[in-house]
Chains A and B, each alone.
Chain A
Amino acid sequence: MSPSSQTRHDESGRDIALAGEYVLGVLPFAERRAAEDRMLSDSDFAALVAHWQADFAELNPSYAPEPVPARLARVIEARLFGDAPSRTPGLWGSLVFWRGLSVAAIVAAVGLAGLSSGLFPSGTGGPAAPLVAQLSGPDSPIGLIATLDPGSDTLNFVPAAFVPDGEKSLELWLVPSDGSAAISMGLVPPDGGAVKIDKRLVSQLDDGALLAVSLEPPGGSPTGVATGPVLVSGKLLAK
């Protein structure tokens, strides 16, 4: 073995050991934080950590379940959902950050465009408020504005930012306001545009329903539930 490959060998062993130490949890606080910082910038190191995590997960049966005091469930739910109406999905609360000036301005424009192009339900005899959702997420490469056009059963998307790579599809999900299971509404065109929705789903697109977009294999989730990370989500609100 040449000296340089010996060095690489040592370095690779060092990283394997460090990743293992991180997963075991033996590192002091500062080194622990440093390892986490490195996972963010060094994908090889992050992969070593993921491998150790999968390996050591075999020891998880060593943890015996313990009865949890009943009040804890109420404390947690109050913390997460305490100040919102009970039917509203609580994810909204963590998305406050994106209700910033610039997004508000975009939505105002979309809302006006929606009104001027006649976003009214057919056959109800009067104008209804168009429903608009702003979809965004922390550290997400995409941002989308969705507008429901009840007259033509379509959701119109205005992409705020998206870099399509062809390797993944964006799948749209509806979480009804009654809290029932999420329903796939199809794929979001990578360049924005309209998504035609099933007539039966239109009635569930009401004020308080949540729209979310997850990253899926090309063509969408093979299982009917979201398999990839949820990139953005937003609640439909009457404007």
Chain B
Amino acid sequence: MAMANTDTNDDYNMLLSRVALGDRKAFSQLYKSTSPKLFGVCLRILRDRAQAEDALQEIYVKIWRRAGGFATDRASPMAWLVTIARNHSIDVVRARRPATVDIDEEFSLADPGPNPESHALNRSDGRQIENCLGELEADRAQAVVAAYVEGSSYHELAEKYAVPLNTMRTWLRRSLLKLKECMER
């Protein structure tokens, strides 16, 4: 993966390693430099300031406790932190509005799916997903981005695009498979 700023990554790697070893000063530094970004994630997904503040607390408690599970050779540190923030915020939203709707489990791959043999990953030029999103129809690409960035549920997406829930799910799943196929090309 192409990294925008290797120096910053190294700094975060160092801080996370020290946090994993129980170093409070490192935790405080990590908090100072990363909390505005993670607070941005919480606000965007939760759309409620008080809930975002509560979420940020829980997220940094998780970071303190889980830093030992972060392996620097496997992921970029900022991506790891954002994943924790997104997962927590999305959990809060989904728990807040539990979906009672039965989403149809039938899923037929009428579209040509990815070739199972093409496992080689080639993401050296970065920004792959954005290029591949460009190959989808504009509204479907938009739906994928809204799902990721805003944490939209299937309900919200179906309402926004005025299609039945099952149609929305089929759209999104096919879009995901096309993206995967494009990225492995």
The interface of chain A, by Cβ under 8 A from chain B, is 8-10, 12-14, 16-17, 20-21, 23-30, 32, 50-51, 53-60, 62-69, 72-73, 75-77, 79-81, 89-92, 94, 137, 173, 175, 179-182, 210, 212, 214, 223, 225-231, 233
A182/B21 in contact, CB under 8 A: yes
Which residues of A are found within 8 Å of B61, using beta-carbon distances?
A: 76, 79-80
B127/A58 in contact, CB under 8 A: yes
> What would 17 more interface pairs be, CB under 8 Å, given A59-B130, A231-B68?
A13-B177, A16-B180, A20-B176, A20-B179, A25-B45, A26-B153, A63-B44, A65-B40, A73-B31, A76-B61, A80-B64, A94-B65, A175-B23, A181-B26, A182-B18, A229-B20, A229-B68
Which residues of B are found within 8 Å of A54, using beta-carbon distances?
A: 1, 75, 79, 123
| B97 CB → nearest A CB, Å | 9
In the complex, what residue of chain B is closest to A222 when comparing beta carbons? B73
- List 6 interface pairs A-B (beta carbons < 8 Å), by A numbering: A14-B109, A32-B94, A66-B39, A180-B25, A225-B14, A233-B22
Q: Classify the secondary structure of A's interface with B.
A: helix
B129/A181 in contact, CB under 8 A: no
Which residues of B are found within 8 Å of A182, using beta-carbon distances?
A: 17-18, 21, 23
B113/A10 in contact, CB under 8 A: yes
Q: Classify the secondary structure of B's interface with A.
A: helix
Which residues of A are found within 8 Å of B121, using beta-carbon distances?
A: 51
Tell whether A226 pairs with B20 under 8 Å between CB atoms, given A56-B148, A58-B129.
yes
Which residues of B are found within 8 Å of A50, using beta-carbon distances?
A: 74-75
Contact of B98 among A28, A68, A175, A231 (CB under 8 A): A28
* Complexed CA–CA distance, A27 and B177 (Å): 16
| B1 CB → nearest A CB, Å | 6
Tell whether A63 pairs with B40 under 8 Å between CB atoms, given A13-B109, A76-B57.
yes
A59/B148 in contact, CB under 8 A: yes
Which residues of A are found within 8 Å of B21, using beta-carbon distances?
A: 89, 91, 173, 175, 182, 210, 212, 226, 230, 233
| B69 CB → nearest A CB, Å | 5
Tell whether A25 pairs with B148 under 8 Å between CB atoms, given A65-B39, A182-B17, A230-B68.
yes
Contact of A89 among B24, B60, B157, B176 (CB under 8 A): B24
The 7 closest A-B pairs by CB, nearest first: A89-B22, A28-B99, A91-B22, A230-B68, A65-B36, A20-B176, A57-B79
B147/A25 in contact, CB under 8 A: yes
| A147 CB → nearest B CB, Å | 20
| A220 CB → nearest B CB, Å | 13
Chain B residues with a Cβ closer than 8 Å to the other chain, count: 86
In the complex, what residue of chain A is closest to B86 when comparing beta carbons? A25
Does any Cβ of A come within 8 Å of B95's Cβ?
yes
Which residues of B are found within 8 Å of A14, using beta-carbon distances?
A: 107, 109
* Complexed CA–CA distance, A63 and B42 (Å): 9
Residue of A212, A214, A230, A233 with highest tally of chain B CB at under 10 A: A230
Does any Cβ of A come within 8 Å of B136's Cβ?
no
CB within 8 Å of A: which B10-30 residues = 13-14, 17-18, 20-28
* Complexed CA–CA distance, A225 and B12 (Å): 12
Contact of A66 among B31, B43, B154, B179 (CB under 8 A): B43
| A115 CB → nearest B CB, Å | 28
* Complexed CA–CA distance, A29 and B69 (Å): 24
B35/A55 in contact, CB under 8 A: no
Which residues of B are found within 8 Å of A13, using beta-carbon distances?
A: 109, 113-114, 177
Contact of A10 among B53, B65, B109 (CB under 8 A): B109
Which residues of A are found within 8 Å of B153, using beta-carbon distances?
A: 26, 28
* Complexed CA–CA distance, A65 and B56 (Å): 13
Which residues of B are found within 8 Å of A73, using beta-carbon distances?
A: 28, 31-32, 35
